[in-house]
Structure 1
Amino acid sequence: MVSEYRSLKDHVYDYIVKMIDMDMIGNEGKLSEQHICDALDVSRTPVREALIQLAADGYLENIPRRGFFIKRIDENSARNILEIMGPLEGRAALLACDQLSDEDIAQLQFLHGAMQLAIEKGLYTRYDELQHDFHSCFVDKCGNDRLIALIHQLNRSFMNREYTSVAPDELDRLLRKANDEHAEIVRLFEQRDGAALQRYICDTHWSIDNASSLAW
């Protein structure tokens, strides 16, 4: 098997994404080019290229004379993303429905239970990691590489969400609601009902009515 070639810029890109995911960006969300250069022992060129690519992909904001900052998601932006995400992931679920093994469905069940435990323990960063794994479990089995890449790219728009900006009671309600929807997704996969899965994920799980809860 021939390994996919990945440029230095790609490796820097992944490093920056990991920094954001792990909440390692301080100073009001500003990224330090020099810090990244020092950490990876690379020149400014691949760092600048990666930052520009992240800005083009919609994850960072390049503010003239100030630098690169994590891009916040407002309600309108969240609505726009949901209008695309729903149909795409619904289609992926339909394509994956007959491809998932019994072991894959058992993994979905496990991840749903783990997310519920994370909610109850207040481990919201862990919940985010688990829900990403949950969706990837079936998206990655849809058999359409371009569709998979598009969905993962859209998901990156919601990385590093600031849960502290949401009141604890409201946050608990929102996450429990989302995980109830995960339970329904598991049930529909168990029934191998691809058409119902496509409708549910598009019209309910990624409904544009959820836009306000995804803004941060």
Structure 2
Amino acid sequence: MSLKKGLQMYKFQSLKDHVYDYIAEQISQGNLLPDEKINENKICQELNISRTPVREALIQLSSENVLENVPRKGFVVKDLNPKEAAEIYEVVGVLDGYAATLACGRLTAKTLKDMEFYINSMDLAIDSGNYEMYYKQQEIFHQLYLVECGNDTLVDSLLKLKKKFVAKKYDLNCMEDVKAILFETNNEHKEMLKLFKTNKTDELEHYIRQVHWDPSKSATEVTTP
């Protein structure tokens, strides 16, 4: 289940929203790569829907700069240059940090326990090399506090920015480096949980903004939202 789906599970989704989520998920999972043309017919066939909601979703993703409408080619996945990636990291850090401070104090004991469960699950996924599972688990980890922040506009803006990141393909010769990066990121999740539990909102906001979303990390080969 995608993050947006989890946040909107209580809302009715139009066909356009369904297609939007599907394309965004394909990009985040690395099934659609930068400069790759979106095959509209294939999406219509896979989702068994007409072309109209597909076009509507593509236009929306293009307006959010996730896709680019290239003349005589069609919609393609837009890649980020280093400057754009660093700028987005910086903005996401501010928004994510603020969302966390709003959620801090609202999280129940069960939610905090669930966050701990997903942190432990991420460690297992990294250790076993199951990176697809890692990304699903970390998405749910962040979802658990985002749904409690109480500001839908903030969350929507945050999700749109995160969709701009395209999943990286791993170099099989550098898998130990990949593991090290992901373990380091999950250690950051552990520190975030500790700050959530102690309601240290100022430290939590600063940690998420300055450490978890440190703009210098945007150059790392592994994208870890």
Give the TM-score normalised by structure 2. 0.85
What is the count of residue pairs matched by the alignment? 214
Q: What's the CA shift for 1:215? A: 7.2
For 1:18-69, what per-residue CA distance to the aligned partner results, in whole angstroms no more than 9, with x for missing partners? Answer: 4334554489733211112223343322222211111222222222212222
For 1:121-169, what per-residue CA distance to the aligned partner results, in whole angstroms no more than 9, with x for missing partners? Answer: 1111111111111111111111111111111222222253323488323
Aligned equivalent of 2:6: none
8 Å contact kept, 1:13–1:51 = yes
Aligned equivalent of 1:98: 105
Deviates more, 1:35-44 or 1:18-27: 18-27
Aligned equivalent of 1:141: 148
8 Å contact kept, 2:28–2:165 = no
Which residue type is aligned with residue 96 of structure 2? E
Give yes or no for the alignment of 1:122 onto 2:117. Answer: no
Q: Distance in 2 between matches of 1:123 and 1:32?
A: 28
Report the CA distance shift for 1:165/1:46 in structure 2 as closer, same or farther (over 3 A): farther
Identity of aligned residues (%): 37
Matches within 5 A, 1:15-164: 15-25=22-32, 29-164=36-171
Give the TM-score normalised by structure 1. 0.88
5+ residue gaps in structure 1? none
Q: Distance in 2 between matches of 1:211 and 1:27?
A: 16
8 Å contact kept, 1:78–1:214 = no
Which residue type is aligned with residue 60 of structure 2? Q
Over aligned residues, Cα RMSD in angstroms?
2.4
- Name the structure with the higher helix share: 1
Give yes or no for the alignment of 1:9 onto 2:35. Answer: no
